[in-house]
Structure 1
Amino acid sequence: MKVQAAVTHSQGDDFKLEEVELSEPKPNEVVIKIVASGVCHTDAVARDAGLAPFPAVLGHEGSGVVQEIGDAVTTIEPGDHVVIAFASCGHCENCLTGHPSVCLAFNDLNFGGKMEDGTYRIHQNGQALSTFFGQSSFGTFAVANEKNVVKVDKDVDLALLGPLGCGIQTGSGTVLNKLKPEFGSSIAIYGSGAVGLSAVMAAKIQGCKQIIAVDIHESRLELAKELGATHAINSKTTEDVVKEIKEITNGGTHYAIDTTGVPPVVKQSIHALRPLGQCAIVGVTPEITFDVHNDIMAEGKTIMGVIEGDAIPKVFIPQLVEYYKNGQFPFDKLVKFYEFEQINEAFADSKNGVTIKPIVKMAE
């Protein structure tokens, strides 16, 4: 089937809307007409740092309508509204114990460019194009494995839901699935982008007493307060962020999430914890040097990495949709829509901070 896709031909290239050939689904796969796809920082990293083999069709926050199913598909039907999540094998120890985001084959399945059976679904002029995250949702149609496709409520605007498959799932899931803060506890969230603000909303759902948002943009801090933050700290204008947080919380936060990947900020997140505090790192972070005794061990602190919010997408994404419908998770306030032809503008606006969560909509 001939479809239109945003092709990345080589590292650092702009996206180019071109015609490609999409193969028929294998028995355990489905064809999805993409309605929209979120723009995620991981797509930008893949394009600029070469996380996937080129040429490639990126995109991994797709939502759409199922058009066709393979012979072995049993849980998805044509006409279903779906969100496409990350790829996982479904049979390794981590998948079988409810942690598919740390699937032992995660890197191969999501960044290796091929589908689970080692073959390609997208071609152009006889050349195979890499698939990204088992979906490549920057196209008018995509092929994905049944186990990575999540059926969602048809009552909700489908174009809005794609980011639940990655960025928004990451922030909210880190709170609700991994840290699980106790009612009345305190949490600091460093970075007020889509991931951080999703964590703010989740912390409010969880009943945290003090939710502290830390960022350098006043507009994002104002939005954080609108979404549930009890305190907002501009780290550009605050002389000592750690001291400020310890004063607010009478000794430090119980929990912290760093979404920035900026080494000095990561260190702040650790230093501002109270003894026995826990910090989740979700941003792509370079090498950092810690004083293990004073920063961590001597106060019984925990640092953990969290991928995709430690979520089981088929369970968690429908839960987020219900929170949204109930008015508890208004993630639509983060979103700005772009036409497919504006995909490069969407990425530029994301990088420059103009838009928190861009979503590109495919033509009808």
Structure 2
Amino acid sequence: MQVSAAVARKPEADFTIEQLSLEEPREDEILVRIAGVGLCHTDLIARDQLIPIPLPAVLGHEGSGVVEQVGSKVKKVTAGDHVLLSFNSCGHCKTCEEHLPSYCLKFPQLNYTGLRMDGSSALSKEGERVSANFFGQSSFASHAIANERNVVKVDKSLPLQLLGPLGCGLQTGAGGVLRSMNCPEGSSIAIFGGGPVGLAAVMGAAIRKCSTIILVEPVAARRDIALELGATHAIDPRAGDLTAAIRAIAPQGVEFAFDSSGRSEVLDAALASLTSRGLLGLVGVPPKIESTLSFNIAWLITYGIRIQGIIEGDSDLDGFLPELVEYYQAGRFPFDRLVKTYPLAEINRAIADQAKGACIKAVLVP
């Protein structure tokens, strides 16, 4: 079938809207008509080859839509179902069997290569292979091929067009607090970065009833909405000594720090803001893959400081995404306040707006 898609052809260049050929779903695949897809920083670093997916490629990994066709072996959903799309996993390795599919041993092959496991792609243009299968979906398109393990059925009464960001950025932020770090009620946390991931972490901390929730973010509008979403304090990192500002609020330091920036100077401040046995959770992608973090080993040992890398908020998809939907329905996870929709054809404008802070979370509508 012919589909319309936003294609990445060169690093750091605009996406182009093109007509592509999409294969019929195989026996274990699902064809989804995309209703909306979130624009995530990970899509841009893939375009720019920090994730070396072969170009040209169709990216997009926060899709939502309607099932149009299923392969003969698919049992989880049927045509007409409304679904969220998220990351793919094998279902058979040790971490998948422990209900931690985001740490699947085959995660890079299943999500980053632009190919099925057999080396094929479902997308092409006049004989030219176009990389697909990004996070098991490639949803910057009118239609996408997904897999049983990376779709989650949702109620048809929900605003399907807006739900896609739950599949990556929002579950990463909320899950980082609720699952990965498992912040207990009454604990203190500093969250570095007030984009969609950081604000989802703020909402997760509010759900968990953390007593002190500090957002560190340079954009004033994002600090303001963080306070409305449950943050107890909001700090402009440009205003002075960041660690001192945090310790003015929590003199002994915070129990948890959550970084969505990936910037070494921010991570230095985050580590310095921790109390004894404090935990730093890392989700921010650094500006370079080879970026490193330096710390004083004796200090880390003396105070039992812990550092944890986090992927997708330790989400198990079928368990956690419905949980987030329930929080949303109860008014406790109002992520829709962060969303601004754009036509898929205006993806480059959406990227520019998101970069300059004109919107918090862009959702593209085919």
Distance change >3 Å, CA 30–CA 355, structure 1 → 2: same
Q: Which runs of structure 2 are paired with 1:270-281 in the superposition (5 Å)?
A: 270-281=271-282
Among the aligned pairs, what percent are the same residue? 46
The answer to whether the 8 A contact 1:11-1:50 is kept is: no
Report the Cα distance in structure 2 between the residues aligned to 1:130 and 1:297, rounded to whole angstroms: 45
Decide which of 177, 186, 190 is 2:192's aligned counterpart.
190
Q: Which runs of structure 2 are paired with 1:149-298 in the superposition (5 Å)?
A: 149-237=151-239, 239-285=240-286, 286-294=291-299, 296-298=300-302
Distance change >3 Å, CA 50–CA 273, structure 1 → 2: closer
AA paired with 1:353?
G
Stretches of structure 1 that go unaligned for 5 or more consecutive residues are none
Decide which of 319, 324, 328 is 2:323's aligned counterpart.
319
- Measure how far apart 1:305 and its partner are: 0.4
Equivalent in the alignment of 2:124: 123
Equivalent in the alignment of 1:113: 114
AA paired with 1:193?
G
The answer to whether the 8 A contact 1:256-1:278 is kept is: yes
Q: Does 95-104 or 66-75 show the bigger shift? A: 95-104
2:343 maps to 1:339: yes
Report the Cα distance in structure 2 between the residues aligned to 1:357 and 1:70, rounded to whole angstroms: 33
- Measure how far apart 1:262 and its partner are: 0.9
Report the Cα distance in structure 2 between the residues aligned to 1:217 and 1:326, rounded to whole angstroms: 28
- Measure how far apart 1:284 and its partner are: 1.1
Equivalent in the alignment of 2:84: 83
AA paired with 1:129?
V
Equivalent in the alignment of 1:44: 44
Equivalent in the alignment of 2:353: 349
Q: In structure 2, the residue corresponding to 1:207 is in which secondary structure?
A: coil
Report the Cα distance in structure 1 between the residues aligned to 2:256 and 2:50, rounded to whole angstroms: 33
Report the Cα distance in structure 2 between the residues aligned to 1:182 and 1:146, rounded to whole angstroms: 33
Equivalent in the alignment of 2:312: 308
- Measure how far apart 1:182 and its partner are: 1.3
Equivalent in the alignment of 2:75: 74
AA paired with 1:155?
S
Report the Cα distance in structure 1 between the residues aligned to 2:360 and 2:244, rounded to whole angstroms: 28
AA paired with 1:174?
G
AA paired with 2:255?
H
Report the Cα distance in structure 2 between the residues aligned to 1:324 and 1:116, rounded to whole angstroms: 35
Report the Cα distance in structure 2 between the residues aligned to 1:352 and 1:169, rounded to whole angstroms: 23
Q: In structure 2, the residue corresponding to 1:313 is in which secondary structure?
A: coil
CA offsets, 1:130-187, max 9 Å, x none?
1111111001000011111111121110011000010011000101111111111100
| Shift >6 Å, 4+ stretches | none
Report the Cα distance in structure 2 between the residues aligned to 1:234 and 1:181, rounded to whole angstroms: 24
Stretches of structure 2 that go unaligned for 5 or more consecutive residues are none
Report the Cα distance in structure 1 between the residues aligned to 2:91 and 2:339, rounded to whole angstroms: 31
- Measure how far apart 1:230 and its partner are: 0.3
Q: In structure 1, the residue corresponding to 2:131 is in which secondary structure?
A: strand
Report the Cα distance in structure 2 between the residues aligned to 1:15 and 1:213, rounded to whole angstroms: 33
- Measure how far apart 1:250 and its partner are: 3.2
AA paired with 2:353?
D
Report the Cα distance in structure 2 between the residues aligned to 1:293 and 1:260, rounded to whole angstroms: 26
Q: Does 281-290 or 212-221 show the bigger shift? A: 281-290
- Measure how far apart 1:290 and its partner are: 1.4
TM-score under structure 2 length normalisation: 0.96
